Structure formats: C-alpha cells, structure tokens
Amino acid sequence: MNDRQSSIRLSAVNPLPFWRKLAYGAGDSGFSLTSTALALLYLYFLLNVVGLDPAAAGISIGIGRVWDAFNDIFIGTLSDRTRSRWGRRRPYLLFGAIPLGIAFVLMWLVPPLDQQTPLLIYYTAMYILFDTLFTLTNVPYIALTPEIAPTYDERTSLHSYRMAFSIGFGLIGAVAPLAIVDALAGSNPTVADLRSAYTAMAILLGLFGIFPIYITVFAVRENPEYQLLPRPPLRQSFRIAAGNKAFLVAVGIYLLTWIPIDLVQFVLVFLLRDYFGLSNDDVNVVFGLLFGTAVVALPLWVWVSHRWNKNRAYQVGIAFLAGVLVVLSFTAPGQPALIVILAILAGIGISAAHAIPLAMLPDTIEWDELRSSNRQEAAYYSVVTLIQKLIGAATIALTGSLLAATGYVQAIEAGSVVQPASAIGAIRFLAGLLPAAIFVAGIVLCAFYPLTRERHARLVKAIEKKRILRKRFAGE
C-alpha cells in the first residue's frame, strides 16, 4: 500500500460526518461577517463619517492590531493549557461570543466628541477591546481544525467547509453594511443620519454574527486525549516552532498571501468609489460578484488540491490572482463591463487564497509532534497571527499615512469629492501592483514547502506508533 492509500485509509477510519463539518464551518460565519465589514469599510467610515484624519485613522487601527498581535500569544498558550469538561477550545467560544458582538457595535458608534485626539483615543480603545475578544474566540476556534480532522485530505475538506461559510458570510459583510446604511440614511442624508445608520448596521451585524458560533460550540467535540499531552513552557514552544521548517515555510506562505489581501480590502472601496466613480449600489454589485465567485470556486480548489499537492495548487491560484490585480491597476474608469469581469476573475483567485494556505498549517503540527511529542495548535496559530498582525498594523498605518501624504480629501458632508491625482495614484498602487508583487514572493516561497501528501501520511503513521508505545509504557 502506497502512502496516498495510507492517507486515504487513515481518513476512512473515523471520517468526519457531513453535519459535523457543516457545524464546524458555520462557526466561522460570525468571525467572517464582522471582520470583512471592518476590513472593507472601517477605514472609510473613520475618514468620511467620523471625520478622523487619515493618518490618525491608520494609527488607531495599527495600534489595535499591534495589541491584538501580542494578545494572540497569551490566548493561544492559555487555550493549549486549558483543562475543562468542555475541552480546551470550546469554553472560549461559549463565553466570548456575546461580548464580541457588543464590542463590534461599540466600534461603529460616533461619540459626541469634536477634537481629533479624543476621537483617536476612543476608536483605538474600541479596536483594542474588539480585537481582544475576537482573539479570545477565534484562535481557539481555528485551533480545532487539526484536532477534529487528523489527515492531509480530511483537513482540506474540513477547511473548505469553513471557507464556504467564511466567504459566504464575507459576502454578507461586504454587501450588507452599505445596503443597510443606504436604506436607513435615505437619499440625501445628513451627517447625523449617516452616523445613526452606521450604528444600526453594526447592531444588526453584531446580533447576526453571534449565533453561528454557538452551532460549533454545541455540535463539535474535541479529542480528550490531547488534554493529556505535556505542554512545554512558552519560551520552549517558540524554540520548537522556530525549528519546524515546514511551519516556517507555511507561515511565510500564509503571510505573503493575507497581507496583500488585507491591503486590497482596506483600499478597494476607495478604488471603486474615488477612482472608478461607482455608487454604493455598484460597489455592492462588485463585492457580491467577488465573494459569490469565491464561494462557487471553492470546490474547484479542493479538487485541484486533491489532484495535485497543496503547494502546486496554491502557486497556480495565486499567480492567477496576481495577474488580475495587475490588470485592475491599469484599468481606466468608465469600463463597467471590464470591472465586472475582473471582479469575477479575482473571486476565483481569492477562493484559492482562502482554501489552501490555512490548510497547510495544520499539517506542520504533526511535524512538531513527531519530534517533541507535544501538540500545541493554538500556540502555533498565535505565532502566525502575531506576525501577521504586526505586519498588518504597519500596513494599515502606512496606508493611512500615504493617503494623507498624497492629499486624500475626506467627504464628510454629502456630495462628491474629486481626489487629486496623487491620491488616486496611491490608491491604484496599493490595490494592484503592490499586492501582486507580494503574491509573487509567496509563489516563490511555496516551492520550498516540504510536506506533500505522501510525506504527511508517513508522519501520521509514525506518530500513531509513538502514541501506541507511549500508552503501553504508561500501563494503559
């Protein structure tokens, strides 16, 4: 029997039932709904509804992300060491979901403050609060993946369910906010109308985002054996992770995928409104096509990953996405048909970015377990998010500063604003050429990813032998 057959045989021992994959995937709905709304609209909200200076808005979000990066480490380690009758992960989902929804609403309130400094302090504090609660629930949720899906292909399948919900609710998070705001604010809104509409939108999304998390809490069960494994000290955990070659490459691939995607998310609404001149309704159409295509294309990338290895599938999908972004950056206004086509094509590439990089990370945990006999999923994921959010914090701060430096004009009052050529050039660069260049770096790095399906199957078999021997020596 070859290693591919072994991998299939191992996954067939206790395959996850369809309903449990569905229940796990549903948990990402709330996370995706709120994070997509923030990524696509929050910077625009701070500039054009609150009236915060572009540089100050970038700094506010950047500070929140730096804080979030470091609390990931603490919460990831805490989750790995948690012992409870509900498991290591589910208690954080159970008790963190409702506070998370409340914190989301607080981010979109406009307090009665007129000065830039008090506004900066308020929105920085609310971002820190939301990010802390997001980490408290999201890191343990993600760490469930390698526990409930033990094999190479089963993880890709489970991850595709999660990404289907993620992209589907990401579509809602992209389209619903502006649609709700337009419906509530009316055709000629005042500043007060807009602010009230954004608050109402946040309440609706916050409520809608809480409940899917509880589907995962009550439907998914953790492996109790993982609570019995030894937990090394935090410093030793970092040393182990630093010596895990497969993990380091997978982290690099993940970062070189999601940093440019975050960048595009931050500036896409600026590109569509300020450069292409689209209305809110048109922007929603573009978002709908982008996210809708990404959902439809998910089975394609699962199939490609099964037929090839994950690294090759990743290279093809991300190269395609990079090419679309380059074309987008050179597209002139007044070509709605081309924008529609590019949105659909970008959705295909975005689907690959959702389906593959995060499916690589769980495989690297077996690489660690074989060497150290430890499983520290949350610690690994927290290292990933630490690096991602530190870089992301710098990215959003630089984005806000670049918009300010190039003369971006805020549109707080009703009416259109003509942006200077310098600001338009910066927006096009941030939405197209820069992320495409970063994607190319990820494609190159992916050539060094060492875990094929066959090699991972050998790792799993070796780990099972070690576990059996450990139980025998323990007298079980």
Q: Using one digit for the tens of pLDDT, what is the confidence trace for 144-184?
A: 877 777 666 677 778 778 888 888 888 888 889 989 998 99
Reported as a single tens digit per residue, the pLDDT across 68-86 is: 777 777 777 777 777 777 7
pLDDT of residue 68: 76
pLDDT of residue 291: 84
The more confidently predicted of residues 466 and 293 is 293
Mean pLDDT of 37-42: 87
pLDDT of residue 14: 60
pLDDT band at 198 (very low <50, low <70, confident <90, very high): very high
pLDDT of residue 8: 36
The more confidently predicted of residues 284 and 233 is 284
Q: Are 430 and 402 in contact (CB under 8 A)?
A: yes
Does 466 have pLDDT greater than 70? no
> In the chain, what are the domain boundaries?
21-220+233-473
pLDDT of residue 4: 42
Give me the CATH code for the 21-220+233-473 domain, please. Answer: 1.20.1250.20
pLDDT band at 368 (very low <50, low <70, confident <90, very high): low
pLDDT of residue 472: 62
Mean pLDDT of 174-198: 89
Mean pLDDT of the chain: 82
Reported as a single tens digit per residue, the pLDDT across 432-447 is: 999 999 999 999 999 9
Mean pLDDT of 21-36: 90
